[in-house]
């Protein structure tokens, strides 16, 4: 059960449905979906690239209620930031919080992350000062130096002077310290408080014009967020067709839940939203620790929903696979039918999907190498629906430096049979 603020969550009973794919691979290849017009249909008023709408509709018909099969519900899972929404809702929440003095001064910056370097500790201490009592709000709305230092570390993993903010050893396919640091920044707050910040940031971001920016210290970042109407329609159509639909994000869970389940959202409730879960103290306040996955207990971020970590959380929370096995690719019936993402952090779970691998093209090397190689013929590549990127110059370095190695650094992307994926040209933009 999720660790929630006691006052806010004791009345909620979370029921996670065990969801598996409806049919065997052989049956999927031979069964024909019904053509009944009552089958849930994707809107033809919303634009998709090429034949992508038809391809997704075919998968929905084959795996959903129109297949005529009455077994366990199939599962669809989506990343959130830049997959369901345009722009990053975590960054929007951090920006709003910094502009409204919502970050509390920690007793020690060094202790906010097990990987924070001495250089980062010194930079944060110098920028944010020691005049504010421990546990009191930092004046980030007026203190540009403090705001810059915090956001630069979040954004790039470096201090404003360019020094590494995080160092040490971690599995680079299970976590990235600067992602784990985001909920750690909100240590001392309760879950309802963080939700209120996310909700206010959401209102501002949805009201801001498309294309607008905002200034955060000396940083210029997107000032708006939008729900992708195509993804909203896809999620609703999947739900109508009997799919169990989840969000799996590397953001902070309370923030992601505000966007996924809030009024005007995409109709995915809290029980179906998975992200970084902070451990709470005895008073219901967020700590710098988070819950783990796949046999990894409570840590300061060693196992978050990131690359292979997203597979782990799906296996553990949705399919109830316990222990180290949750890190492994499961048999066909214990995998999602559709996976949607936009970045390398999504490549593993999107690749695990048995029906369709939906990728929004943001020119991220590993996931685009998988998508364009299209080994199983089920990868569906679409440009971003709002402000799509231009064509990537040159090829994706699939054969040499696109795979994110667990120990850090990059290597060749390999197919399931061990062969090397050749470099791929960008063709959907």
Sorting pLDDT into bands at 50, 70 and 90, what band is 37? low
What was the pLDDT predicted at 2?
53
Nearest to 82 by CA among 290, 251, 218, 208: 251
Spatial distance between the Cα atoms of 340 and 322, rounded to a whole number of angstroms: 24
- Three-state secondary structure readout of 225-278: CEECHHHHHHHHHHHHCCCEEEEEEEEEHHHHHHHHHCCCCCCCCHHHEEEECE
User: Model confidence over 320-365: pLDDT tens digits?
Assistant: 999 999 999 999 999 999 999 999 999 999 999 999 999 999 999 9
Q: Is the pLDDT of residue 20 over 50?
A: no
**Least confident stretch, 5-9, 12-16, 369-373, 415-419:** 12-16
pLDDT in tens, 147-158: 999 999 999 999
Residue by residue, what is the 3-state secondary structure of 381-398? Answer: EEECCCCCCCCCCCEECC
Segment 236-263 shows an average pLDDT of 96
| Count of alpha carbons within 13 angstroms of residue 173, beta-carbon side | 16
Q: Is the pLDDT of residue 98 over 50?
A: yes
What is the Cα–Cα distance from 214 to 164, expressed in whole angstroms?
26
Query: With 70 as the cut, is the pLDDT of residue 84 above it?
Result: yes
CB 304 within 8 A of CB 175: yes
- 227: β partners: 85
Q: How confident is the model at residue 66 (pLDDT cuts 50, 70, 90)?
A: confident
Mean per-residue pLDDT for 400-412? 98
Say how many CA atoms lie within 13 Å of 411 toward its Cβ: 8
pLDDT of residue 262: 76
Residue 58, classified by CB atoms within 10 Å of its CB into exposed (0-12), middle (13-18) or buried (19+), is middle
DSSP run (H or E) holding 315 = helix 308-317
Percent of residues, the chain, with pLDDT higher than 90: 88
Say how far apart CA 141 and CA 122 lie, in whole Å.
21
Quote the CA–CA distance of 272 and 3 in Å, as a whole number: 15
Distance in angstroms (rounded) separating the CA atoms of residues 130 and 148: 17
User: Could you read off the pLDDT of 24-35 as tens digits, one per residue?
Assistant: 333 333 334 444
C-alpha distances (whole Å) from 297 to each of 274, 287, 292, 404, 408 are 17, 15, 5, 24, 22
Between the two ends of the chain, the Cα-to-Cα distance in Å is 41
Q: Coil, helix or strand for 299?
A: strand
| pLDDT class of 39 with cuts at 50, 70, 90 | confident
Give the pLDDT band (50/70/90) at residue 166.
very high
Share of the chain above pLDDT 70, in %: 91
* pLDDT tens profile 202-228: 999 999 999 999 999 999 999 999 999
Residue indicated by tokens 């292979």 = 308
pLDDT over 60 at 3, yes or no: no
- Residue 300 near residue 114 (C-beta atoms within 8 A): yes
Using the predicted structure, report yes or no on whether residue 12 has a pLDDT greater than 70. Answer: no
All structural domains of the chain with their residue ranges: 1-340
pTM, two decimals, is 0.90
Q: Per DSSP, which regions of 45-97 are E strands?
A: 75-78, 85-86
């Amino acid at each position: 059960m999720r660790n929630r603020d006691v006052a806010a969550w004791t009345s909620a009973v979370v029921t996670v449905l065990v969801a598996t794919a409806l049919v065997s691979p052989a049956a999927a290849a031979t069964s024909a979906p019904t053509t009944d017009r009552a089958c849930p249909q994707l809107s033809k008023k919303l634009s998709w690239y090429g034949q992508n709408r038809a391809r997704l509709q075919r998968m929905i018909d084959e795996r959903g209620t129109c297949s005529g099969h009455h077994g366990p519900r199939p599962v669809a899972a989506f990343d959130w930031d830049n997959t369901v929404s345009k722009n990053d809702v975590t960054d929007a929440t951090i920006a709003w919080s910094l502009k409204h003095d919502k970050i509390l001064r920690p007793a020690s910056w060094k202790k906010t992350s097990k990987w924070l370097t001495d250089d980062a500790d010194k930079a944060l201490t110098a920028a944010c000062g020691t005049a504010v009592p421990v546990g009191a709000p930092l004046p980030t709305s007026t203190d540009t130096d403090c705001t810059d230092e915090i956001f630069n570390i979040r954004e790039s993993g470096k201090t404003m002077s360019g020094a590494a903010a995080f160092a040490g050893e971690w599995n680079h396919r299970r976590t990235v310290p600067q992602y784990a640091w985001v909920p750690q920044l909100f240590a001392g707050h309760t879950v309802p408080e963080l939700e209120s910040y996310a909700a206010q940031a959401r209102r501002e971001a949805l009201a801001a014009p498309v294309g607008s920016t905002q200034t955060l210290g000396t940083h210029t970042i997107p000032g708006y967020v939008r729900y992708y109407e195509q993804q909203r329609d896809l999620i609703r159509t999947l739900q109508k067709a009997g799919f169990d639909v989840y969000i799996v994000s590397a953001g902070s869970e309370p923030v992601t839940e505000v966007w996924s389940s809030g009024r005007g959202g995409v109709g995915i409730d809290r029980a179906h939203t998975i992200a970084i879960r902070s451990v709470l103290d005895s008073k219901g306040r967020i700590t710098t620790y988070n819950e783990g996955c796949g046999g990894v207990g409570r840590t300061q971020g060693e196992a978050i929903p990131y690359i292979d970590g997203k597979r782990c959380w799906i296996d553990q929370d949705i399919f109830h696979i316990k222990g180290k096995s949750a890190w492994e690719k499961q048999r066909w019936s214990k995998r999602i039918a559709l996976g949607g993402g936009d970045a390398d952090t999504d490549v593993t779970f999107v690749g695990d999907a048995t029906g369709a691998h939906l990728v929004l093209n943001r020119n991220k090397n590993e996931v685009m190498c998988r998508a364009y190689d299209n080994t199983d013929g089920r990868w569906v590549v679409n440009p971003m629906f709002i402000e799509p990127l231009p064509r990537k110059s040159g090829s994706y370095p699939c054969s040499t430096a696109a795979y994110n190695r667990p120990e850090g650094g990059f290597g060749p992307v390999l197919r399931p049979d061990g062969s090397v994926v050749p470099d791929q040209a960008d063709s959907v933009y």
